[in-house]
Amino acid sequence: MKVLLVGHGAREHAIADALCRSVHEPKLFAIMSSCNPGIYRLCLRSGGKFFRGSETDPKFVADVAEQISADFVFIGPEEPQFHGVPDELWKRGIPCVGATEKCSEIERSKAFMRRLMWKYKIPGRLRFKAFRNVEDALAYIREYAESVALKPARQAGGKGVKVIADLKVYLSEEKRKVKEKHVIDIAEKHMKKYTDIEDRILIEEKVEGPEYTLQAFTDGKTLKPLPVVQDNKNAYEADIGPETGGMGSISGPGMLLPFLTQEEYDRSVEIVDACLKALQQEVGETYKGTIAGQMMLTPLWGPTIIEFYSRFGDPENVNVLPIMQTDMVDICEAILRESLHKIKLEFEECATVVKAIAPKGYPDRRDLAKGHPAHVDEKAIEEQGGKVFYGALDLREDGNMYTTGSRMVEIFAKAETIPEASKIAERCIPYVRLLDGWGLFHRSDIGSEVLLRRRIEQAELIRGVYQYRMQKGLIGVTIDWIPGRGKIVYEA
């Protein structure tokens, strides 16, 4: 059996690792724009091959798949989906695990996703406005003083989201200036290179609460959810600093997290499933691949969708694929044959922690974070009980690995509890370094007792509020008081 994997990050390394553990012993082939050392090694060991080239060029990917006679292709990241790579593969009769261009609209366009939720009345929807030009967005901000989340209307590598509380009249003018500046930043910085979408800026009602990611496999009919994971987006300890793609994540023990109840987990699955069904009805295509709801426990709804991924999260899938006991190739074949209902997903009963290590400069000055030679002592890391998943490192012909500007390595560790797994991951950190002396950073607080307690306390507070609202029939209902205009009730 031959499997072609598209993508070069730690998420794809975890997918490659799961495929290579299969009893079917597939030959692994990979298309990567830079050479991930972990995936490269798995390709060679399994008797496959690595192709350096564009991951988003449908013709190139389909030509390679034909050349190697791939049994199926697995698409890791979102951009190949947005560019129609799965569509070209299916057109040529090559089965593909990965959302088609139309299905991936659920991630690509945040406005599409919100409109879908309102049209199909899916619980957990937020009020929003989408703008096609800066002037209209600025005019809206000048008119309405309210707490908002300002976002690029397209998936823009997880960057450009700013949440602004605007609750005090005497600060409103200052807040307005911050909002205006960020709207301009979104248009001129974060959305600049994306010409494939008309909506440019999304203004959403602000919600607060602990976030978590619900990832799943789907064949379009059945949704098979994975253990829920919490990613930590801020670059620095104590949740401060710029937003990154994710500095590390926690899961377990089991399917839940210590701050999430079974009921909330089930509700989250129902919401993702409802969106999946609505999406397929809307676009008229079957979704075969992986999907993830990036969710938040909010006072307004309880489990609430913040964003969708038409793929697994990174680092989130690095928590769960290493402990998945079900055969990955069997899962992929069931997705392709639409028989996923027959698969039972099983996981080791443990807690996991993943810690990303990034060169200094990431995420805002990737130019500085790029081009540094790296050394990873995998043997020492394994002796400490951890496992390495390679990320933004390019293995070049001189045999050295060089940073490409993002999270270069993700360390996976498992234990009975999250804090124990965190301690194991911490012991592995010194075995990753840059040979030219350039600095690295990671978040030591991810998975710690202190941070975990904070998440639990925050969830308990929010649970109290949304359960009270539920009893009063106020779930999803927002009530504003505008001086001079009085009470405004926004029905769900």
Can you give the binding site for ligand GLY, defined by CB under 6 A?
158, 231, 245-246, 309, 313-314, 316
The dihedral region occupied by 334, where left means phi > 0, alpha psi between -120 and 50, and beta the remainder, is: alpha
In the complex, the smallest distance separating the C-beta of residue 196 from ligand GLY, rounded to whole angstroms, is 19
Nearer residue to ligand GLY within complex by CB, 3 or 247? 247
CB of 158 to ligand GLY, least distance (A): 5
| Rounded least distance, CB 313 to ligand GLY, Å | 4
CB of 263 to ligand GLY, least distance (A): 25
Angle at 210 between CA 205 and CA 214, to 5 degrees: 95
| Of 115, 125, 126, 120, nearest in space to 278 by CA | 120
| Cβ closest to ligand GLY, residue 39 vs residue 43 | 39
Cβ of residue 157: shortest distance to ligand GLY, in angstroms? 8
> Using CB atoms, what's the residue nearest to ligand GLY?
246
Please state, in angstroms and rounded to a whole number, the distance separating the CA atoms of residues 393 and 408.
5
120-130: burial string, b at 16+ Cβ within 10 Å, e else: eebbbbbbbbb
Write down the least CB distance from residue 170 to ligand GLY, Å.
Answer: 36
Single-letter residue type at 254: G
Asked if residues 12 and 36 have their Cβ atoms less than 8 Å apart, the reply is yes
- Cα–Cα dist 351/255, whole Å: 9
Tokens of 361: 């400069």
Residue closer to ligand GLY, measured from CB, 64 or 202? 202
φ/ψ (deg, to 5) at 250:
-130, 150
Distances (CA, A) of 463 to 64, 455, 460: 50, 12, 5
Asked if 424 and 415 count as a contact pair (C-beta separation under 8 A), the reply is: yes
CB 435, min distance to ligand GLY, A: 28
Residue 87 exposure: Cα atoms within 13 Å on the Cβ side? 14
26 versus 289: smaller Cβ distance to ligand GLY: 289
In this complex, which beta carbon is closest to ligand GLY, that of residue 38 or of residue 246?
A: 246
Q: Which amino acid is at 5?
A: L
CA-nearest of 6, 25, 13 to 64 is 6
As a whole number of angstroms, the distance between CA 385 and CA 420 comes to 11
Which CB atom, from 12 or from 231, has the smaller least distance to ligand GLY? 231
Q: Between 225 and 245, name the residue whose CB sits nearer to ligand GLY.
A: 245
C-alpha 218/C-alpha 216 separation (Å) is 6
Shortest Cβ 75–ligand GLY spacing (Å)? 14
Minimum CB separation of residue 389 from ligand GLY in Å reads 14
Nearer to ligand GLY, 22 or 352 (CB): 352
- Contacts of residue 41, defined as CB under 8 A and 6 or more positions apart, other chains included, come to none
Residue closer to ligand GLY (CB basis): 107 or 378: 107
